[in-house]
Structure 1
């Protein structure tokens, strides 16, 4: 939840930019674009009550507007008599806006806003009755002196009302890990760029000013109320065999940390089992298995390289025809001699002219008719299944389309049937001629005239064989097909893709691209080429018999020669092989970008730098939490374990042979033993002690933890 507690809406002082002026319409537009839910209007030394009401009305239901002012503070004189000047933001409970307006007018008292200055004591005495919070400039100039901040803190009856503003980014989720609060505002200079400003982000979204103040005070009741806005579930886990208990997990970020060997990974494994058994969508990642997981992602065992991937016919019929091919030899001269020697042996047979008939030539087959009909039928059926035609064509257009497609299909089918009838008629006629001749020969002890010289059948057999192998060979020259799937982004390398490549067998092909052995495929291809070259040679039958052996071993269509491979590549298609650390980054991005209900991460930080975790991983984890996804992470990394401000932190310890489990969160700054409520630990101290880098790393990351200095 984004908030902005330092927002200007007017050019007030001479040095202010004119671009700080904003209309109510632009104010509303920019607030929506920036997705800010709470804004405090804090103009210099002035509160415009009418503008406040106008802006509050226009953003009603989208954003809560709080009244405030940014005052010029004159500090106490130092030993040299110099008085340090600083800025203090004062924000009032919106329920007291009328009183706040009156008190600000009294405080400023019509003085020139450019020269107005006042002490912190007077500010508190005048505005304190409005139920305010106070945000002095801390890192940002002009900043309040430590003495003035201390004086203000001593004046306030509740120290949780004092915050510190900085120009660096802070997350507001835990208000006071180090005994004071840190916050940030946009300090907007140009409303055209408001949505690009930096904002605080509250991990426990509040609805009112009172809730905000209670959260700052770490009020147990309000924290419980805010935490319970997310669903929580008690889930059975098992860190070791025969050790079972339940742990709470939110639809948000949940962290498991502790010493090595305390069963963190085993807890995650039992969680995976629970989600799988209950049919809950889950994604998981193990940092120490990223290399093998990445390799598995590039495996192609489950991909079937079908010919349609390369827009090819399967050539199954061509393979069958080559397999079944047998040489049709021309009629031997001896059969003609036998006919001449016996034709006058029976005068009755001589009167049967059919015994001297020859075969009708079958003509060239037309395979195109069959493929046209098959393609049109499949195309029509699949198109009408996948497309809702009624959305794009009116009734008359649909009727016309169906009539034309039907007519086209009918005409192709008619042509196919005519060719089929013609071919079958010729075959039947020739079969009848041969049968009658055989009967006549048997009854007359003669030999009929051969039905065909046989050269036509001999030549056509060779031509048909050549046609089949030519069609098969033509497929080996088709272009590769590459399918790209976005994987992730690497700094300096840009977008990385998984390229799935389908290609015919080539010299560059690798063994792992094919289901069949690549050597067998290469030899089969050589045999097919050999048949094509030997189609006019005497040894053609010998070449065909070699092919038949490969067919019997499972090479039955062109699909066997299509290889498939997966590789990672840059956007321009250049192959890029990520390092081990980059593999983890890409796998993590892919997992966090996937759609699931639960995300289980086991030491995701392995192989990743802290800067990358902070700038890339944490925002993705936070986005998942906002979408009410359960994110469960076992980690030793302080950036993850603390920077995410988890709803639940689970600490596993092992001391003197005894394992213990503590549950808590950073909002209470407490961890409690699940078996003994009196046994508690400090969340901050345990984080510093247990997470990688210890106390030094913890303070090095103070910008993430909302700290500004070390405390004893």
Structure 2
């Protein structure tokens, strides 16, 4: 098995942050992490002279030449063989890449990539796959059989890709900047082991074609990965940590969390115990945040209606315009005898040209773009609507939109001329002028307000919006009418008086007007028509107690960990009883451990024993002449002895019994008591 790190940076570039290369750090890194193969893969450049210097200094390992290319908004590693003939050609190709990438925003196209590198079978190509910035799947598909592996950013993603037959072979590398001042305790340990003897591009490619020959540990079939530079391992599944008080368990958990650089879900001891009033309020607030999407989904379409009505003239304004229009028509009829040459001209009472609306055509353009940009259903769409036809339709829609825009510019200009002429004619005539009114729009506005009132009354009726199971809990989200002005404050409008507005709550139109008058922001008004309640119910259908809140919080935190790369839990037994640990916590933890590394510190036999872990760690504190040292012994649950990184051993049976049962004597006494009670 060869330990490989095929993603190392030694030269900063326009695509990378600045750093100062230190050859001594590279030599120390390779030695301390016991690497067998490395590749120098700087961003969009290859430093031939520096590479030769590194290769000459590291004669005991294989050093491969490489480059990390910005390809179509993603990254891809291109790794070559290290013989002299290949190096000369590879260097010239990398120079072309370097000359094309002038800024951090530049990249090269697929066609340019093919033109530069030519026969791709000569190289090992590894795209960013489950790692940002990802190489787009369309580009990977175009590269075809040249892509057999994908780089990941975490152990969790490595596990996922390893399990999925349809996924590429995963590789996990450091992406390490060999930087002056980096100390050994900061060295990355994200390396991949290849089951090969001789190392070159072809043997590595053959190895990557078989997922079983690519692992995170040197031992075949054992799902471990290195967590600390000293060689300490963890299981990719469930790890249990034992140890006496103050022996370094929390210290170790903190160190593990720091290695994941903010991507660890760390549930610390006692953080789930909510007993004070402020904790209770925080619980309710957290719950509201979690279920905000349910409320938004319920009110989303109503918010569109509210926004539209807010842009519409009020009923009073429309009625006033209509009244003035009718009065002017009657007045004009009654005073027909005063009509003169000016009032008889056609422009005197001419109506404005109505500007074209863009709502419909914009919807069509967006719909066409959606069909064109769809990736998941592209073949299905093109089966019925050929891409060429969609592009032709999009072109014509855009052209029509431009024509309509030009027409509106003419309408505006003509309307301005009509307005000026009408005002001039009015100055010279004694006859009353009939004001301009859009009667069609008047009736549209009236209908909008009627529909808004109907929907507003319906939206606040009491009903359950959604229910969701979470273990033995049920999350219930429901809607109801607001009961008073104070109730309206729950939406978060602490500084606005809503007493006058609530007095009109039964009349949606008047209520809307009062909310505007009270100074409520237009984008929040829709939330003040229906109250949204969030409740957590226990298995009996009753609101949860304080202790049950802790249980619910814990289950939610475990579920949230799916977005992280590791789950760390420090003594969950501090917050819960054994039945909950066994029936709920163990179940969720085991499920999480199938997809990501999980590590739990515990003294409890329900967690430590019943859960059946994949790997055990035991912490021990030693005070020596140079200070305090925290030692870690580890191994499989079935092993007779646990071993530290220096090879020292301790008895697994003894430390497990002492940690979980307070020793063999206490265990025997409890066993006798249980037998007596049973009989």
Q: TM-score range by the shorter chain?
A: 0.3 to 0.5
TM-score normalised over the length of structure 2: 0.47
Higher-Rg member (1/2): 1
